[in-house]
Amino acid sequence: MIRPSLGLPADIASAGRRRIGRRVALVAGVVGAGFGGLYLVGLGVGGDIPSGTRVSGVDLGGLSNSQARDRLDSSLGGAWSEPVQVRLGDSDGTVRVSGISLDTEETVARAAQAGSDPFTVIGRLFANGDREVEPVIRVDEAKARASLAEEAKSYDRKAREGAVTFKAGEAVLARPVMGRSLDVDGAVEKLASEIPGQGTEPVRLPVRTTEPRVDAAEVERAMKEFATPAMSAPVTLTVGGQRIEIGPATLGKHLTMKRDADNSLAPALDGKGLLAEPTVAGQLALALDEPVDAELNLDGGRVTVASDGKAGQEVTSAALRKAVLPLLAESGAARTGAVGVEEIEPRLTRDNAGRLGIKEQMSTFTVDFEPDAYRVTNIGRAAELINGSVVLPDETWSFNRTVGERTEANGFVEGVIINNDRFEKAAGGGVSAVATTVFNALFFAGVKPVEYGAHSFYIERYPEGREATVAWGSLDLKFRNDSGNAIYIDARATDTSVTITFLGTKKYDQVEAVKGPRTLVKQPATREGASGDKCVPQTPLEGFNVAVDRIFKDGGRAVKTENFETRYDPRDEVTCD
């Protein structure tokens, strides 16, 4: 490209260009020398850290790297080593944090690196403002999260729903409480983003809140509209021409208010529990007739019906709940209503005795006893309560459930029992004779014993290894009817004996007992009995082990054998003053 010469001769123009080039080079050299000089001057001002450099308010300007590290360590290094002042929601407190610390080495290096930049070095010759350097914070997330999670245990709380409960016949209001929990991950980030103690305010840590679904307004409504009226007075039911009264204390034991789909409190009544209450069950028993099973007899080895059964009535738990619940919110005469009654047939009738498989004698056993007034009464009462029991296939029969507690109210009197390996006087003495008779009847009927226990020492009138005792609340006699058909228990007592007969269908042709010899014989000791009129003297008898085999036979051939082992303690001689 040809540039215009502006009308100058060529040699003059060339010379001019050379002079201009020399001037440009001279100026550039002067400028470069000046910048380098300023940079060198700037480097000579202060130490490793530029003047005015601050880290979270700590002035490091003019310090060497080691001096800056020492100052940071003394000023900020312990920021997380002491409890940190924090704000959690609306409350202030402290937390201890592990795993978060100031990296003084890297922070000083960052400040010093900024101080070596040429423009920064020259700029600090002309500027007098402060320069903030962000601190470098080390975070061991696992440790920090673990320590904050531990701290959260004392802060966190679950939301508590507003509720209404019933206690001792009174409605009790429980106000709702908002739930709260520390956001551990968010708290780690918050503490790692600022140095605690540098501001006037505590570090605000993030928290989560959970609102209860049943609020205070709903609790107050439930109290006013239902709970308070429900406990204001008894409710009265009419059944069988009689009135049954149920008081607030009894009602409250089985009454609850539960949250429904709309987060409202709705009343719920446990009809089954209320029906089992002694005060309710007792009143219903007087107002209703129990079903009566047919009575059976043996006529020449064949079962016959001696008297037919009789239908009874019952109030179901559903009917009781349906009758009571609407009355609870009412007042005055409106708290009275009728309860529905259902007719129930007896389990054993003239028509179904044959279908249930009760057609022959399976076993019978008799235990004789010395006549004594308490024995006659207690054994007779237990036999009366057992007589007529019907045990359906696969059902479990219980002596304690059938006979009930041996109390005066249940028809029993004080007699002699065995307690702590000695004779004592207590209500129900002599009933073990009935338990032993039942055990032998089930033994020879071939059905399965579920729970049983022998006397602690041997009593001579019972067969060795084939006897049982019972104790209310601790030891029962139970068997499961695995015969495949129903069993009818016939129980009869005289002044000197008790007989238990099982009627049903034999599962085996014959059941035999074979007793082994006494082993591990131990001699008795002699000791004094307890003082007072409850002491009963006893004669000594050795203790021993004995085994009894139950052999099941069909067609005269043994098809199965079961072993029963019993250990009897020595019966010490006891004397009474």
332 or 42: which leads in pLDDT: 332
- Backbone dihedral region of 197: left (phi > 0), alpha (psi from -120 to 50 degrees) or beta? left
CA nearest 342: which of 364, 369, 323, 367?
323
Residue scoring higher pLDDT (35 or 428):
428
- Measured CA to CA, the distance from residue 564 to residue 464 in angstroms comes to 11
* Tens digit of each residue's pLDDT (9 = 90 or more) over 194-212: 788 776 688 899 999 999 9
1 has pLDDT over 70: no
Helix axes 141-155, 184-193, angle to 10 degrees: 120
**Mean pLDDT, residues 10-39 taken together:** 43
- What average pLDDT does the structure give for the chain? 85
What does the pLDDT look like over 225-245, one tens digit per residue?
Answer: 999 999 999 999 999 889 999
- Could you read off the pLDDT of 143-179 as tens digits, one per residue? 888 988 988 888 899 999 999 999 999 999 999 999 9
Q: What is the pLDDT of residues 482-525, one digit of tens each?
A: 999 999 999 999 999 999 999 999 999 999 999 999 999 999 88
Query: What is the predicted pLDDT for the residue at 424?
Result: 59
Q: What is the CA radius of gyration of the chain?
A: 48
Mean pLDDT of 387-392: 93
Position with higher pLDDT, 29 vs 428: 428
Q: Measured between alpha carbons, how far is 237 from 253 in angstroms, rounded to an integer?
A: 18
Residue 420 has pLDDT above 60, yes or no: no
The secondary structure element, H or E, covering residue 363 is strand 360-368
CA 573 to the chain's CA centroid: 49
DSSP state letters, 521-547: EE---EEEPPSSTTB--B--B-EEEEE
- From the DSSP assignment, how many helices (H) and strands (E) are in the chain? 15, 36
Give every CB contact of residue 133 below 8 A, 6+ residues apart in sequence.
53, 54, 55, 60, 107, 110, 111, 114
The stretch 291-312 carries a mean pLDDT of 88
- Per-residue pLDDT tens over the stretch 36-95: 444 444 444 456 888 888 888 888 888 988 888 889 888 887 778 778 888 888 888 888
Distances (CA, A) of 194 to 75, 80, 191, 419: 14, 11, 6, 76
Report the percentage of the chain scoring pLDDT > 90: 55
pLDDT at 321 over 80: yes
What would the DSSP string read from start to end of 316-351?
-HHHHHHHHGGGTT--GGGGEEE---EEE--SS-TT
Kindly state the helix (H) or strand (E) to which residue 493 belongs, with its residue range. Answer: strand 487-493
* pTM listed for this prediction: 0.58
Q: In which band, very low, low, confident or very high, does the pLDDT at 567 lie, cut at 50, 70 and 90?
A: very high
Average pLDDT value for residue range 101-123? 72
Q: Kindly tell me if the per-residue pLDDT of 559 is higher than 70.
A: yes
- In degrees and rounded to multiples of 5, residue 247 shows phi and psi of -80, 165
Amino acid 372: pLDDT: 87
* Rounded-to-integer distance, Cα 389 and Cα 402, Å: 8
Q: What is the pLDDT, as a whole number, of residue 354?
A: 85
Is the per-residue pLDDT at 3 higher than 80?
no
What's the confidence (pLDDT) of residue 552? 97
Assign 27 a pLDDT band (cuts: 50, 70, 90): very low
Separation between Cα atoms, residue 138 and residue 158, nearest integer Å = 33
What is the model's pLDDT at position 229? 97
Residue 135 has pLDDT above 90, yes or no: no
* Predicted local confidence at residue 17, as pLDDT: 45
Amino acid at 221: R
Q: What is the pLDDT of residue 38?
A: 43
For residues 497 and 118, give the distance between their C-alpha atoms in angstroms, rounded to a whole number.
121
Predicted local confidence at residue 311, as pLDDT: 93
- The residue ranking higher by pLDDT, 407 or 9, is 407
519 strand-pairing partners: 545
State residue 68's pLDDT score. 84
d(CA 278, CA 232): 22
* Residue whose token pair is 């350097």: 133
Q: 237 with 244: CB under 8 angstroms?
A: yes
